Amino acid sequence: MKGSRTRLPGSTGISRRHVLQGGAALGTAALIGPLAATSAAAQPKKGGILRVAMAHGNTSDKYDPGSWTHAYVQVFAHARHQYLTEVAADGSLVGEVAESWESSPDASVWTFAIRPGIKFHSGKDLTPEDVIASLDYHRGDESTSAAKPFVDPIIDMKVDGNNVVITLESGNADFPFIMSDYHLPIMPSTDGKIDPSSSDGAGGYIVKQYEPGVRAMLERNPNYWKTDRAHFDGIELLTILDPAARQSALRTGDVDVIDQVDLKTVHLFQRVPDVTVLSTTGTQHYTFAMDTRKEPFNDPNVRMALKHAINRQELVDKILFGYGGVGNDHPIGESNQFHADLEQNSYDPAKAKEYLKKAGLDSLDISLSAADAAYSGAVDAAILFAQHAKPAGINIEVVREPNDGYWSDVWMKKPFSAVYWGGRPTEDWMFTTAYASGAAWNDSFWENEEFNKLLLEARSELDDGKRRELYGRMQDIVRTDGGVIVPMFASYVMAHKNNVKTPETVGANWTLDGFRAPERWWFE
């Protein structure tokens, strides 16, 4: 589905103030169920404990915002924290801790007006100094945060009255969007430092109990400044990795909401009389990441051979059951503004063999790690990939990894693995997160000098026509040289009891309404 987004103005500069900056939706949402039509018409009211079962969660999870890698900790974070900005359900950008912002004409200096009157759960007032300390935590040579690439371009931060003035080493037209990244919550500070092990936040819910990999219990924050949000008395977030167990828990009423409905049985689940299936389409995509530092993946010809040895449409049909579309080995989807119409990497075993010959190989034997913790159906997707690759002389041994610990012990540890990505609202954000040289989550450890040069050039370019050209070139470089196979873009498919109500527009930028179901949804 094509989508557009109102962007910061191009060659005319962006010096005027931007309040509630943004535009059209990132994707679409579809409700499927007997009472779906009533959801949008219902009016929010307070009360009840929302129980959410999720397909993620590890015993090694932490409060540390720089370490968050999967949807459970991200939903948990948005329940208890606030961010400078928020991606609204329609894909636009709105203020949260920042009530407004403005920039210099070259987008290198950004001034954020900090909303007065916000309090942390501990009772401390949220100040501009807390904003600076929260961002500073992710910066510097000693930082191990996944958000380090986003904040390292900051060369100065200072308080000006109730404003925070941030100076970048070069212009970045997307900087306010980046401030909504889930690694960047605003946390209380002491002497210019935050405590990354603290649960204290300024969000709609207060943590009462947390057992990583099992459950989190939260209660409504009575001092939450958003009086039209956080409708539940409390939230219980549960880790239930097995999809059948998750769906059984919803069917029997043990939970109210689940993410990652098993697509193999979604057609049956839609018939459950008191359950609504909710599907949103945006930037989520599934990948197979190769460690390009290691043989044989250090040879771009081997990488291209594998890209032509996978039948993408069959994966969409059999793994996604039509809830998604074919990918083209780069992470920029059709809902992104600067998505490029490129030649499709097609399933072609003969062409795959040609690339193997260029690599000096007659055949290839490799292992592929997968677990349904990566995404529902990841193991089946890997098995299908292995079948597709055989005619090209590529023998893939599928290694079924444990669900628990997949993100800490397998992802970016094993040389070839299945991965899910939520995507990002902007091209620069996605490329900086996972494809830039040295990025903490560059899970193929890919280095391309031309790509990195274009990334910097596009980031500071304010003319949309030139940005489109630059991002198109970058997508093509990733498609032909990158170490990630992107076979499919996937819808988020969730389900909830019919007494759980949602706004008319549900966010498609992340699962569970952009991670914000706990504060946006309510009980009938």
pLDDT in tens, 377-400: 999 999 999 999 999 999 999 999
**pLDDT at residue 422 in the model:** 87
pLDDT > 70? residue 28: no
Please report, for the chain, how many H helices and E strands are present, in that order. Answer: 16, 24
Residue of 221, 199, 226, 196 whose CA lies nearest to 210: 199
pLDDT > 90? residue 153: yes
**pLDDT at residue 29 in the model:** 55
**pLDDT at residue 463 in the model:** 87
Residue of 232, 213, 212, 211 whose CA lies nearest to 221: 232
What is the length of the chain? 524
Distance CA 517, CA 39 (A): 14
Distance CA 379, CA 398 (A): 8
Q: Strands 492-497, 484-490: parallel, antiparallel or unpaired by DSSP?
A: unpaired
| Residue 315 CA: distances (Å) to CA of 322, 368, 374 | 9, 16, 15
Distance CA 225, CA 117 (A): 8
For the segment 459-487, the average pLDDT, to the nearest whole number, is 95
For the segment 253-265, the average pLDDT, to the nearest whole number, is 94
Distance CA 410, CA 489 (A): 22
Q: Sign of the C-alpha dihedral, residues 57, 59, 63, 65?
A: negative
Distance CA 297, CA 300 (A): 7
**pLDDT at residue 30 in the model:** 55
Distance CA 433, CA 53 (A): 27
CB atoms within 10 A of CB 334: 15
Check residue 33 and give left, alpha or beta (phi > 0: left; psi -120 to 50: alpha): left
Higher pLDDT, 26 or 381: 381
pLDDT in tens, 313-341: 999 999 999 999 999 999 999 888 899 99
pLDDT > 90? residue 443: yes
Residue of 137, 147, 122 whose CA lies nearest to 199: 122
Distance CA 252, CA 309 (A): 42
Q: Which residue has the tokens 């956080």?
A: 230
**pLDDT at residue 17 in the model:** 30
Distance CA 236, CA 196 (A): 22
- Domains, in order of start, for the chain: 285-490 (3.10.105.10)
pLDDT > 60? residue 432: yes
**pLDDT at residue 15 in the model:** 29
User: What single letter denotes the amino acid at residue 440?
Assistant: A
Quick one: pLDDT band at residue 494, thresholds 50, 70, 90? very high
- Measured N-to-C along each axis, helices 427-434 and 449-459 cross at an angle, to the nearest 10 degrees, of 140
**pLDDT at residue 42 in the model:** 61
- Measured N-to-C along each axis, helices 464-481 and 427-434 cross at an angle, to the nearest 10 degrees, of 30
**296 three-class SS:** coil
For the segment 44-51, the average pLDDT, to the nearest whole number, is 96
Quick one: pLDDT band at residue 40, thresholds 50, 70, 90? very low
Asked whether 397 and 355 are in contact (CB, 8 A), the reply is no
For the segment 68-82, the average pLDDT, to the nearest whole number, is 97
The overall longest dimension of the chain from CA atoms, in Å, is: 67
**pLDDT at residue 130 in the model:** 98
**pLDDT at residue 257 in the model:** 98
pLDDT in tens, 285-312: 999 999 999 999 999 999 999 999 999 9
Concatenating the DSSP letter of every residue in 4-63 gives ------STT---S-BSS---S-SSEEEEESTTHHHHTTPPP----EEEEEES---TT--S
CA atoms within 13 A on the CB side of 375: 25
Global confidence as pTM: 0.78
3-state helix, strand, coil in the chain (%, to 5): 25, 25, 50
Higher pLDDT, 124 or 5: 124
Bridge-partner residues for 277, per DSSP?
32, 495
User: What single letter denotes the amino acid at residue 352?
Assistant: A
Distance CA 320, CA 490 (A): 7
Token pair recorded at residue 244: 């059948």
pLDDT > 70? residue 268: yes
| Through-space distance between the first and last CA atoms of the chain, rounded to whole angstroms | 32
For the segment 331-359, the average pLDDT, to the nearest whole number, is 95
The rounded percent of the chain whose pLDDT value lies above 70 is 92
Q: Which helix (H) or strand (E) holds 431?
A: helix 427-434
The rounded percent of the chain whose pLDDT value lies above 90 is 82
CA atoms within 13 A on the CB side of 284: 28
CA atoms within 13 A on the CB side of 332: 24
CA 280 to chain centre: 14
Distance CA 327, CA 359 (A): 25
pLDDT > 80? residue 26: no
Q: Sign of the C-alpha dihedral, residues 79, 175, 69, 145?
A: negative
